[in-house]
Amino acid sequence: MARVLSCIQPTGQVHLGNYLGALRNWVSGQHAGDVFHGIVDLHALTVTETPGTLGANTLDLAAMLFAVGLDPEVATVFVQSHVPQHTQLGWIMECTVSFGELSRMTQFKDKSAKKEADFVSAGLFTYPALQAADILLYDAQEVPVGDDQRQHIEITRDIAIRFNHRFGDTFVIPKAVTPAAGARVMDLQHPTNKMSKSTETDAGIIYLTDSPAEIEKKFKRAVTDSDNTVAYDRENKPGVSNLLDILSVATGTPVAALVEQYSQYGKLKTDTGSAVAEMLTPIRARYEELKNDPGELSRLLRIGADRAQVVAASTLERAYRAIGLAPR
Ligand code: TYM
């Protein structure tokens, strides 16, 4: 059984990009692998939060992870700050990655540029080292993520290979697993930008908690182009291609078949809107139910943290021994 790990930050609300790029695959893969999924609250500290909101956001996100279908009986769902080995190995990762490598991370460049004159934390810069620790602690072979995380998985591989070379075989070298469709869901209003929690306006973002009416409205207003031919061309027709990708995942119909089926943008938009609304309705209902039971969510997260810690502690110990730190 493959060991699988992937994580999500408790910042903002879960959107369609998170769902199609990652969460859906976490759910479909949970019976085929030995799976660990973290809510990475410490990563969220890299951009300052309103004090006191992170804990509540963490519980909300846990409710959403169970609502999309992660089964606490088979999937280990945990909170990063509950498993202290993440920050412990994180330091070692920081000492195994170079300043130059971290400087080349597009996510750092984008996020720090967006903040311009604002406070840019050192944590935002060293973020990939903590992410490498998240992955390597669990001996993960597969990391199911959206396209935007590929560079972070690549640097994790580089760090693991370097560590193994310096100190002897210690870490499993992971690989990113991205879905065939849905790996890069674009903003409906700005289809050349990915759908993202950090976008200012949410007219182009579908949240998993949006009502069917809101979802349909957002799809009706989706930006396409003026030539009115339905064709799949990500570069020249990003809006239409994004709708085709989303409709394809929501209905299980290949993009090529959809291109044959549609001649009008209007119909493509309304059908995509209804398919997505239908797909998300049961998730929203389960989420509302689970959210009302924070005691049960905390209980499930404690079980997850206990299971995660057994694995994380043994890997950290292995890394300490490989380096040759004095035993206590
Ligand atoms: P985060 O919280 O931004 O996103 C969670 C997952 O959603 C995917 N995703 C998308 N997929 C398709 N289209 C989009 N528009 C889209 N937006 C987001 C992301 O690729 C991701 O899989 N750095 C990570 C969190 C992290 C992590 C890890 C991931 C920390 N440690 C260890 C994997 C393994 C992040 O910020 O994801």
pLDDT digits (tens, 9 = 90+) for 247-303: 999 999 999 999 999 999 999 999 999 999 999 999 999 999 999 999 999 999 999
| Domain extent for 226 | 212-288
Q: Is 116 left (phi over 0), alpha (psi -120 to 50) or beta?
A: left
- Looking at residue 114, what is its pLDDT? 78
Contacts of 175 (CB under 8 A, 6+ apart): 141, 142, 143, 153, 157
Question: Both 171 and 232 in a single domain?
Answer: no
Average pLDDT estimate for 78-94: 98
Whether 283 maps to a domain, the answer reads yes
Q: How far is the centre of ligand 1, averaged over its atoms, from the C-alpha of 149 (Å)?
A: 6
Question: Both 170 and 276 in a single domain?
Answer: no
Whether 175 maps to a domain, the answer reads yes
Active site residue 220: no
Whether 69 maps to a domain, the answer reads yes
Whole-Å CA distances, 14 to 78, 140, 287: 17, 24, 12
Could you give the count of Cα atoms lying within 13 Å of 43 in the half-sphere of its Cβ? 22
Active site residue 197: yes
Whether 156 maps to a domain, the answer reads yes
Active site residue 111: yes
Contacts of 286 (CB under 8 A, 6+ apart): 66, 67
The torsion angles phi and psi of 7, rounded to 5 degrees, stand at: -135, 165
Predicted confidence (pLDDT) at residue 112 exceeds the cutoff of 90? no
To test the ligand 1 pocket, which listed residue (6, 7, 79) has its Cβ within 8 A of the most ligand atoms? 7
Q: Per the residue annotation, which of 175, 194, 237, 291 is the catalytic one?
A: 194
Which range among 113-122, 151-160, 275-284, 315-324 shows the weakest confidence by mean pLDDT?
Answer: 113-122
What is this structure's pTM? 0.96
H-helix segments, the chain: 16-18, 24-29, 41-44, 54-68, 85-94, 99-103, 106-115, 122-136, 150-167, 212-220, 238-251, 255-261, 265-291, 294-323
The distance of Cα 242 from the centroid of its chain, to the nearest Å, equals: 19
CATH code at 87?
Answer: 3.40.50.620
CATH code at 271?
Answer: 1.10.240.10
Whether 199 maps to a domain, the answer reads no
Question: Both 279 and 306 in a single domain?
Answer: no
Question: Both 175 and 48 in a single domain?
Answer: yes
DSSP states along 160-185: HHHHHHHH-S-SPPPEEE--SSSSSP
Question: Both 113 and 142 in a single domain?
Answer: yes
Question: Both 232 and 281 in a single domain?
Answer: yes
Atom 24 of ligand 1, residue of closest alpha carbon: 8
Contacts of 125 (CB under 8 A, 6+ apart): 102, 108, 112
Q: How far is the centre of ligand 1, averaged over its atoms, from the C-alpha of 6 (Å)?
A: 8
Q: What are the pocket residues of ligand 1 if the criterion is a CB atom closer than 6 Å to any ligand atom? A: 6-9, 17-18, 20-22, 40, 43, 131, 134-135, 143, 145-146, 148-149, 152, 183-185, 194-196
Question: Both 231 and 129 in a single domain?
Answer: no
Q: Is the dihedral of CA 21, 26, 31, 34 positive or negative?
A: positive
Question: Both 18 and 157 in a single domain?
Answer: yes
Predicted confidence (pLDDT) at residue 85 exceeds the cutoff of 80? yes
Question: Both 154 and 98 in a single domain?
Answer: yes
Q: Per the residue annotation, which of 111, 114, 115, 237 is the catalytic one?
A: 111
pLDDT digits (tens, 9 = 90+) for 27-80: 999 999 899 999 999 999 998 667 889 999 999 999 999 999 999 999 999 999
Whether 263 maps to a domain, the answer reads yes
Whether 189 maps to a domain, the answer reads no
pLDDT digits (tens, 9 = 90+) for 162-221: 999 999 999 999 999 999 889 999 999 999 999 998 777 899 999 999 999 999 999 999
- Looking at residue 80, what is its pLDDT? 98
Among candidate residues 83, 87, 66, 56, the one with its CA nearest the CA of residue 305: 83
Whole-Å CA distances, 122 to 94, 110, 127: 12, 15, 8
Question: Both 274 and 303 in a single domain?
Answer: no
How many domains does the chain fold into? 2
Question: Both 10 and 72 in a single domain?
Answer: yes
Whether 147 maps to a domain, the answer reads yes
Question: Both 311 and 278 in a single domain?
Answer: no
Q: How far is the centre of ligand 1, averaged over its atoms, from the C-alpha of 39 (Å)?
A: 11
